[in-house]
Amino acid sequence: MKTKRTHPKPRRMPREGWTVAEVIDLLTLGEPPGTCDRCGRDDLRFIHLLDHRAWPESIVTGKCCAQRLTTDYDPTAEHALVLRARRRDRFPDLERWDISARGNPWIKYRGATVTVFPKEEGYACCVALDDDRTYRHGFKTVRDAKLAAFDALVDMLE
């Protein structure tokens, strides 16, 4: 007689006691919107990675579900990311952008001088902050180069 093997019952995801490991802005990383592992909402720009000691892997949630699954939800990380994303989204369109004598867009921003210029098939950017200079290249549009400059500058300031 064959013994029927019983599959272990899938354990249920804990409903509390999670901690936020990381908050990520998917749009800034060029990633598609994320899906919440708790409620299934699938248009998340800012995802929370949650860990639980009794669960083998991290789960992805939006802010509301992160608040429900954690005990002391700290809004600071998401808030900082939202503010940074807002500044980043606005950066390419700031009215302070000027055009240099060579015809390249440039701006003074948070103590740095940012310049965008054509390079090979696309565009490059240079961020000069005190004695520090960062170059990034390979961007299809001026806007992409400006966004990359913003990210480079934030890295330099941190």
The binding site for Zn ion (CB under 5 A) comprises 36, 38-39, 41, 62, 65
What residue has token string 């004598």? 101
- Smallest CA-to-CA distance from 127 within 115, 110, 139 is with 115
Give the rounded distance of the alpha carbon of 108 from its chain centre: 24
- Smallest CA-to-CA distance from 133 within 118, 105, 150, 113 is with 113
Based on CB atoms, which residue is closest to Zn ion, 65 or 142?
A: 65
Q: Can you tell me the distance from the alpha carbon of 143 to that of 125, in angstroms, rounded to the nearest whole number?
A: 10
Tell the smallest beta-carbon distance from residue 1 to Zn ion (Å).
47
- Smallest CA-to-CA distance from 38 within 61, 54, 17 is with 61
Based on CB atoms, which residue is closest to Zn ion, 19 or 104?
A: 19
Tell the smallest beta-carbon distance from residue 35 to Zn ion (Å).
9
Based on CB atoms, which residue is closest to Zn ion, 52 or 143?
A: 52
DSSP string, 23-70: EEETTTTTPPPB--TTT----BSEEEEEE-TTSSS-EEE-HHHHHHHB
Based on CB atoms, which residue is closest to Zn ion, 38 or 146?
A: 38
Tell the smallest beta-carbon distance from residue 61 to Zn ion (Å).
5
Tell the smallest beta-carbon distance from residue 17 to Zn ion (Å).
17
Tell the smallest beta-carbon distance from residue 70 to Zn ion (Å).
13
The answer to whether 112 touches 91, Cβ cutoff 8 Å, is no
Based on CB atoms, which residue is closest to Zn ion, 67 or 104?
A: 67
